[in-house]
Amino acid sequence: MLDTDTFTTPDGRTIGGTVMDLRNITLRFGGVEAIKDISFDIREGEIRAIIGPNGAGKSSMLNVISGFYVPQEGEVWYRGKPRPQMKPYEVAQQGIARTFQNIALFEGMSVLDNVMCGRLGHMNTNILSQAIWWGKAAKEETENRAVVERVIDFLEIQAIRKTPVGRLPYGLKKRVELARALAAQPSLLLLDEPMAGMNVEEKEDMSRFILDVNDEFGTTIALIEHDMGVVMDLSDRVVVMDYGRKIGDGTPDEVRNNQDVIDAYLGVAHD
């Protein structure tokens, strides 16, 4: 049932088989059905966007993918196996990392310390030896710092390495969040509105970073975004949601010409 075919995109990247398969997901909060019977998949190495008007259920969908919400109906298949209910850290250990819509960084800590947090899942020594920086802990920290420094270099945030996050402007905080997610060296990266509230220049920078992450590390990316221009330029495939239902799925061109999608965005009367 799982698709394992690989194919090549027009710009020369290889898209692999299905990494995550969401089957007939329904999510309810009390009487409210946030997600109604939605199915779609995410393939290895692709940039997959989830779009839709406000309140369409996009963030809920991302929370289902990240394992934070457990749907009442339907199954989440990850790498060929149905995924059981998991704690957030277990999800992280599976190679999934994310950023948040409303930045969730430690404001009082430096950029470096925040990004180092992304390496937590890769540290095995106990807290005591880490505290006194003894034995294997010292070596482990150096190794993890090297990974973090590469991410800092990659995202060009060297100049703010030692700056407390609370002092940074919004656009840079977003970038630090991405850095922390990347530090975990995820195979699936979830981005919740990575460009919300940014100016044109910041959006261009962020778009380039997202493309570079995908290109350089082969990371599979699922993102939610409001800016249609950005989504259409960045993604390989797009899922369109409206009122908790899936109304479109396909390449940016297919989605752009889908009448339901046009209606949802331009607005038609709902019953």
Partner 1 sequence: MTDLHTIPAYLDRNATDFGDAAAYREKEYGIWQEWTWSDARTEIEEMARGLIGLGLEIGEHVAVIGRNRPQLYMSMVAVQCAGGIPVPLYQDAVGEEIAYVLGNCSAKFVIAGDQEQVDKVEEVRARIEGLRHIVYLDGRGLRKYDHSVMSSMETLREAGRNADRAEMDRRRAQQTGATTCVMLYTSGTTGKPKGVVLSHDNIVSTSKASSGFDNLRQSDEVLAYLPMAWVGDFIFSIGQAMVTGFTVNCPESADTIMHDLREIGPTYYFAPPRVFETQLTSVMIRMEDASRPKKAMFDHFMAHAKGVGPRLLDGEDVGFFDRMKYKLGELLVFGPLKNTLGLSRVRVGYTAGEAIGPELFDFYRSIGINLKQLYGQTEASVFITQQKDNEVRSDTVGTPTPGVELRIAENGEVFYRSPGSFVEYYQNPESTASTKDPEGWVATGDAGFIEEDTGHLRIIDRAKDVGKMASGALFAPKFVENKLKFFPDIYEAVVFGNGRDRCVAFINIDLTAVGNWAERNNIAYASYQELAQHPRVLATITDHVNAVNRLVAEDDMLAGCQVHRFLVLHKQLDADDEEMTRTQKVKRRLIEEKYADLIEGLYSGAEEVYTETDVTYEDGRKGKIKATVKMCDAEVVPVDVKTLEAAE
The answer to whether residues 97 and 49 touch, using CB atoms and an 8 Å cutoff, is: no
**Nearest distance in Å: CB 158, partner 1:** 5
Torsion of CA 182, 185, 188, 192, to 10 degrees: -20
Binding mask 121-160 for partner 1 (x = CB under 8 A): ------------------------xx--xx-xxx-x-xx-
Toward partner 1, which CB reaches closer, 139 or 150?
150
Total chain residues near partner 1 (CB under 8 A): 21
Pick the piece of the chain touching partner 1 (CB under 8 A) from 7-15, 84-92, 98-106, 170-178: 7-15
Please give the backbone phi and psi of residue 29, each rounded to the nearest 5 degrees, phi first. -115, 100
**Nearest distance in Å: CB 216, partner 1:** 6
Toward partner 1, which CB reaches closer, 161 or 226?
161
Please give the backbone phi and psi of residue 3, each rounded to the nearest 5 degrees, phi first. -85, 120
DSSP strands (E only) in the chain: 7-8, 14-15, 18-29, 32-43, 47-51, 73-78, 81-82, 96-99, 188-192, 220-224, 237-242, 245-250
Confirm or reject binding of residue 233 to partner 1 (CB under 8 A): no
Confirm or reject binding of residue 113 to partner 1 (CB under 8 A): no
Toward partner 1, which CB reaches closer, 128 or 146?
146
Confirm or reject binding of residue 11 to partner 1 (CB under 8 A): yes
80/92 Cα distance (integer angstroms) = 18
Confirm or reject binding of residue 271 to partner 1 (CB under 8 A): no
Confirm or reject binding of residue 13 to partner 1 (CB under 8 A): yes
Is beta strand 245-250 parallel, antiparallel or unpaired with respect to 237-242?
antiparallel
Confirm or reject binding of residue 161 to partner 1 (CB under 8 A): yes
Confirm or reject binding of residue 23 to partner 1 (CB under 8 A): no
**Nearest distance in Å: CB 9, partner 1:** 10
The answer to whether residues 69 and 27 touch, using CB atoms and an 8 Å cutoff, is: yes
Toward partner 1, which CB reaches closer, 66 or 214?
214
Pick the piece of the chain touching partner 1 (CB under 8 A) from 8-16, 23-31, 170-178, 181-189: 8-16
**Nearest distance in Å: CB 152, partner 1:** 7
Residues 199-228 binding partner 1 (CB under 8 A) are 201, 204, 208, 211-212, 215-216
Q: Which residues contact 150 (CB under 8 A, 6 or more apart)?
A: none
Number of neighbours of residue 244 by Cβ within 10 angstroms: 21
**Nearest distance in Å: CB 116, partner 1:** 12
170/89 Cα distance (integer angstroms) = 27
Helix (H) or strand (E) holding 184: none
Q: Which residues contact 221 (CB under 8 A, 6 or more apart)?
A: 46, 47, 48, 188, 189, 190, 191, 210, 213, 214
Residue ranges binding partner 1 (CB under 8 A): 11-13, 145-146, 149-150, 152-154, 156, 158-159, 161, 201, 204, 208, 211-212, 215-216
